[in-house]
Amino acid sequence: MSKILEKIKCSGIEGKHINMRLVELYDAEFIYAMRQNSNRARFLSGIKNGVKAQIEWIKKYKARERKRNEFYFIIQSKQDDNVGLVRLYDLREDSFCWGSWIMKDNVSANYAIESLLCVYDFGFYTLGFPKAHFDVRKKNVSVLAFHRRFGAKVISESDLDYYFELTEVDYKIIKKKYSRYQ
């Protein structure tokens, strides 16, 4: 896997209605604002200490990105408006994790679906992983239902979370259903 990741050059991902570009230091204010939205971020890990702390976090993240250990994207409309965030991390020998997925209030649900497809395409086809893993809080009912409809399977659970897996094989099958988004 490390040989594959060494060869990856990633500046962004182009979708049909959105683009996803890697986070930069100047995105700290947007990220902080998104993560402070109590409605949208209620199931994500909390962040504190303001924009300056977010800048410091991004600096550390950029070092992980240079090593191809993590990828943090700003989701943008084709008009370059920031509409969301998503991150790929915990890259294992046979699996990638993704999360920190958050969209602005009042943006098209199509943007969320397309960003999900872009994440899976990047993880499966660009990074070359055969499966994805992620967790969802049990109280996040709408997101749980979405992932189940999308074909992800619960492989374990804790008191707080369900742990999911989606294979590339399953993704290829379900992707056809969502082809109008790409």
Q: How confident is the model at residue 122, as a pLDDT?
A: 94
pLDDT in tens, 81-107: 999 999 999 999 999 999 888 888 888
Q: By the 8 A CB rule, do 151 and 167 touch?
A: no
Q: How confident is the model at residue 43, as a pLDDT?
A: 47
Q: How confident is the model at residue 46, as a pLDDT?
A: 56
Q: How confident is the model at residue 5, as a pLDDT?
A: 46
Q: How confident is the model at residue 53, as a pLDDT?
A: 84
Q: How confident is the model at residue 91, as a pLDDT?
A: 95
Radius of gyration of the chain from its Cα atoms, rounded to whole angstroms:
16
What's the pTM value of the predicted model, to 2 decimals?
Answer: 0.86
Residue whose token pair is 């920031």:
82
Low-confidence stretches of the chain (pLDDT beneath 70):
1-11, 35, 37-48
Q: Residue 101 class from Cβ within 10 Å (0-12 exposed, 13-18 middle, 19+ buried)?
A: buried
Q: How confident is the model at residue 47, as a pLDDT?
A: 64
